[in-house]
Structure 1
Amino acid sequence: MATAWHLLSIAELAPQIRRREVSPTTVVRVQLDRIAALDGALHSYALVMADAAMAQAEAAEAEIAAGRYRGPLHGVPIGIKDLCWTEGVPTAAGMAIHRDFRPDRDATVVRRLRDAGAVLLGKLQLTEGAYSDHHPSVTAPVNPWHADYWPGISSSGAGVATAAGLCHGAIASDTGGSIRWPSAANGVTGLKPTWGRVSRHGVFALAPSLDHVGTMARSAADAGLLLQAIAGVDPEDPTALHDPVPDCLGGIATDLRGVRIGIDADWNGDGVDAEVGAVVGAAAEVLQALGASLVDVRVPDAVRAGSGLTDDWAANCAVEAAVAHAATYPARRDEYGAVLASVIEAGRALSGIDYQRILLRRAQLRGRMVALLRTVDLLLTPVHPYAPLSLAAVRTLGEQPALIAGLQRYTCPFNLTGHPTLTLPGGLSRQGLPIGFQLVAPHLGEAMLVRAGAAFQGATGWHRQHPVN
């Protein structure tokens, strides 16, 4: 039986490439053929770089044959969210006004992937400006598990392509849930690092103090491997952290003895769908069976339902988006979609005094969350309280503020605080659609997240469920 190269994890594929049991050109050709066959219906790519990808694969193959192996990403096909500048390649950020923009340099994350020998398959589709809705001129990516269900936002293309076997992993971003929602919706693993862990140089901004550049992949180990390639200090981004690049793979173990996992049963259960609660509960049981101790905790009152936290996140995001788009908005207002335009307008209208109050509440939340995460190694939560959302339900979000607040309840707090998170597939709904859960770590705790995620995935098989073979 022929090997299904497209379904292998990076950790499985890389040793075979290194031993020259399969060539990068073969693997890339398989991916390009799958994209040609499937993406006309899935729309996960904004642009496929087929010729450039084959040239990179040929170069990787020659280097490996000559003994110049660069590491586990050498010759591996990766997708890039079309938010990241790619030299000479259209980089639109999901926006009509940027459809012809061709950067004269790579974003730092793109350059680091090239340095690691990865093959860049193309640019993955996203919502307009990485906010909550696709521009009217863009065909939204389609959930490969079921076309009538939500693929997540804003890294929708990254989630769809990774799940459907159209790349072996992806670079994505998260401002309020944009790695976690599509990871959960498409049944893949998403790592949102500590804010500043990855340079944002050359990445279109939505809200810079909330934007996290991260990774999406088929496993926790793969997500960590990608993070190691792109993380680290960057002179081009003064906000990039100077802390050492995390060793996400060195601490991987099959057990979690000594790891304390905090659970706030009230917060995790408040208005949460029974199927989601069952997935989170089952994950807790697996983690405990692996040796972790479960600790009752109480999250800060500021994150509880009705606290106004999601309103603070929305206003904070809106002000920063207004600044990020000042060069083109309102000058080119007519070229913006209605949703992103309304966000920018809200940011422009907010008073300085009201904004300062939000920043003070945000600082208090961060301090309280830091204190909580000193008492445990990880926090276990849902990704959102709903069973997989149909597109029909998502279309009503604009009319139901409570539904939007629920969607953001477990995600946007950790953009406000900057903490790293890992989203893992943990089960299937009655309709056979993925349901995920979230682990949160203290600042700079990515290695612990990957350790816990890899242990969980070593004991379960949810991450090996695929929508398309």
Structure 2
Amino acid sequence: MTAELHYKSITELSDLYRRRELKPSEVTQASLDRIAQFDKRFNAYMTVLGERALRQAKKADDEIAKGIHRGPLHGVPIGLKDLCYTAFAPTGGGTMIHAKFVPSHNATVVDRLELGGAISIGKLKMTEGAYTSHHPEDDAPLNPWSADHWVGSSSSGSGVATSAGLCYGAIGSDTGGSIRFPSATCGLTGIKPTWGRVSRYGVFPLADSLDHVGPMCRSAADAAAMLGVIAGADPNDPTALQAPVPNYLAQLGGGMRGLRIGVDRSYTQDGIDPQVVKALIEAERALAALGAGIREVRFPAYEKLVSQWIPMCSVETAEAHLATYPSRKSEYGPDLAQLIDQGHTMTGVEIAAIHHERLKFTGALAALFEDIDLLLVPTMPVPIPTLTKMGEYGADPNVLLNILRFTAPFDFSGSPTITMPMGMSSDAMPLSFQLVGPHLSEHVLARAGHAYQSITDWHTRRPPIG
């Protein structure tokens, strides 16, 4: 099996299976071999489920041989972020406290993936509690594009494994940017769905009202395939949306013609690194060449809301950890502990003020989408920082908040986004942008992303790892 196999798209694999040119067992064994070869370098996996994955693959072999096709993920090795409950493996959520916790049931997203025939090849590392940093006792995943550069948080293992060809797609979660940052830093395509589009049942929370679960893949088509399997209402999660799930894959061919793309040049260019601005302008030109109409818009006031992301997150995180914090505080890493401590100091009046600011922003953004279909923004205001630079950022809350400029607002509003590569920086690292849509517009986002990727090749670039 050559390296090219590990970078096949999900849709390509599905087609090869149907034509009997490949078997899921062959692909799964090749994936396990690649994990054995490379993951000691990258630290993407918390747990590799080799024997179970091969049993699943053999079952998929037999079903496909009988003409049974469960969908586009049938027989495809997928990685699970380690905050997704699995009754067949520990689910630690990046913590030491829960490192040996084996739930009695699976997360809904896990059950839906496996019902669709996906092969759960392993549990992927993540930052502690899905916040900003890994637990001090854990070896953090390393960016396959450059080990000296930030890999993003919190879905770090999901980004690394998918980018390095150690799985064909992965589950991520996003509270302030944790699908989008690792997608950006690893050259991937990620969809942060509308809040509630994907069930959070059996998913460790960071901040329930901000948490989103979604796919991280190597193309818009693959992300659409995964989203179509995991999305939908769930009786176990009353916050999951009841809206029917469209066939995202079937709608990919609609193209960009007629779509109205909003651009606020002050929001997306003022104070932004020139490399990011230049690549974003090129992405805008590509979208216009595909037939999209570009409209100048004014983005709602966001600065105050972004400054309130950490306080809001702290309150909800404190609530999520009541069973173990502060009773087992010594087992927590410093960053997550500090966040929870802050949450315990917040007053009801302060929380109400954040809630009101959130409502105002969400309403203003919804009004903006009355005049446009999608909004074009960068994913990050700077090229991917080095680990040294990220350490400096962590010491300056103002710089850290600037990193959240293009991500946190859309967690507050629950808006869906698609994140895609749009170029390369001067140090040969991926650059990334987002398209943002109104609630439940994932079909439009996937369609637009697929159109963009049909005339660009940034998403086909691979890290230099062999």
Query: Do the two structures share a fold, i.e. TM-score over 0.5?
Result: yes
Question: Deviation string for 1:259-311 (max 9, x for gaps)?
Answer: 0000000110121101111111110000000000000000012x1xxx32222
Contact 1:194 1:212 in 2 (8 A): yes
Aligned equivalent of 1:253: 253
Once the two structures are superposed, what CA deviation does each residue of 1:319-353 show, in whole Å capped at 9, x if it has no partner? 00000001110111000000000101111100001
Q: Could you list the per-position Cα deviations for residues 124-160 of structure 1 after superposition, in whole angstroms to 9, with x for gaps in the alignment?
A: 1000000001001110100000110001100010011
Shift of residue 88, structure 1, vs aligned partner: 2.8
Partner of 2:443: 447
| Alignment RMSD | 1.0
DSSP 3-state at the match of 2:92: coil
Q: Provide the secondary structure at the position in 1 that maps to 2:97.
A: helix
Equivalent residue, structure 1, for 2:346: 350
User: How far apart in 2 are the matches of 1:406 and 1:3?
Assistant: 38
Structure 1 gaps, min length 5: none
Give 1:25 shift: 0.7
1:279 aligns with 2:279: yes
> Does the aligned pair in 2 maintain the 1:378–1:441 contact within 8 Å?
yes
3-state SS, counterpart of residue 401 of structure 2: helix
Residue in 2 that maps onto 1:11: 11
- The Cα of 1:13 is off from its aligned counterpart by 1.1
Whether contact under 8 Å (2:10, 2:168) holds in the other structure is yes
Contact 1:419 1:443 in 2 (8 A): yes
The structure-2 alpha-carbon separation of the partners of 1:22 and 1:363, relative to structure 1 and needing over 3 Å to count, comes to: same
Larger deviation, residues 407-416 vs 368-377: 368-377
Write the mapping of 1:315-334 to structure 2, written as runs, cut at 5 A.
315-334=311-330
AA at the equivalent of 1:406: N
Per-residue deviation, 1:387: 1.2
Contact 1:254–1:458 (Cα < 8 Å) also in 2: no
Return the offset for 1:68.
Answer: 1.5
- Cα distance between partner residues in 1 of 2:170 and 2:52: 17
More deviation, 146-155/244-253: 244-253
2:375 is paired with a residue whose SS is strand
Q: Which residue of 2 aligns with 1:211?
A: 211
Bigger mean CA offset, 3-12 vs 344-353: 3-12
Deviations 1:426-450 (A, max 9, x none): 1111111101001100000000000
Q: Secondary structure in 2 aligned to 1:160? A: helix
Mapped to 1, the partners of 2:294 and 2:247 lie a distance apart of 25
Which residue of the partner structure matches residue 370 of structure 2? 374
Note the C-alpha offset of 1:399. Answer: 1.6
Please state how far the C-alpha of 1:19 moved relative to its aligned partner.
1.7
Q: Percent identity, please.
A: 50
Q: Secondary structure at the match of 2:426?
A: coil
Report matched runs for 1:419-438 at 5 Å: 419-438=415-434
Give the drift of 1:405: 1.1
Task: Say whether the 8 Å CA contact 1:254–1:290 is kept in structure 2.
Answer: no
Partner of 2:171: 171
Matching residue's letter, 1:8: K
Q: Which amino acid aligns with 1:294?
A: I
Matched with 1:235 is 235
For the residue of structure 2 that corresponds to 1:252, the secondary structure is: helix
Distance in 2 between the 1:252 and 1:59 partners? 30
Unaligned runs of 5+ in 2: none
Residues 149 and 73 of structure 1, relative CA distance in 2, 3 Å threshold? same
Give the distance between the partners of 2:199 and 2:2, measured in 1 at CA.
40
Give the equivalent residue in structure 2 for 1:66: 66
Quote the residue 2:265 is aligned against.
265
The alignment status of 1:30 with 2:43, answered yes or no, reads no
Q: Offset of 1:398 from its aligned partner?
A: 2.5
Query: 252-261 or 358-367, which moves further after superposition?
Result: 252-261
The equivalent of 1:107 in structure 2 is 107
**Amino acid across the alignment from 1:241:** L
Equivalent-residue separation in structure 2 for 1:209 and 1:365 (angstroms):
15
Displacement of 1:2: 5.1
Structure 2 letter corresponding to 1:177: G
Q: Which residue, out of 301, 307, 312, partners 2:308? A: 312
The code of the aligned residue for 1:119 comes to I
> What SS does the aligned partner of 2:308 have?
helix
Q: Is the 8 A contact 1:190 1:424 kept in 2?
A: yes
Contact in 2 for aligned 1:215/1:226 (Cα 8 Å): yes
> Letter of the aligned partner of 1:112 in structure 2?
R
The alignment's TM-score, normalised by the length of structure 2, stands at 0.98
- 3-state SS, counterpart of residue 281 of structure 1: helix
User: Which amino acid in the other structure matches residue 396 of structure 2?
Assistant: Q
The aligned amino acid for 2:361 is L
Report the Cα offset of residue 400 of structure 1: 1.1
**2:120 is aligned with 1:124:** no
Distance (whole Å) between structure 2 residues aligned to residue 163 and residue 2 of structure 1? 16
- How far off is 1:97 after superposition? 0.1
Code of the residue aligned with 2:6 in structure 1: it is H
Structure 2 counterpart of 1:337, from 333, 337, 340: 333
Q: SS of the residue aligned with 1:308?
A: helix
**Cα distance per residue 1:13-68 (max 9 Å; x no partner):** 11101221100011011111110000001001111101111110011001111222
Partner of residue 394, structure 1 = 390
Letter in 2 for 1:145: W
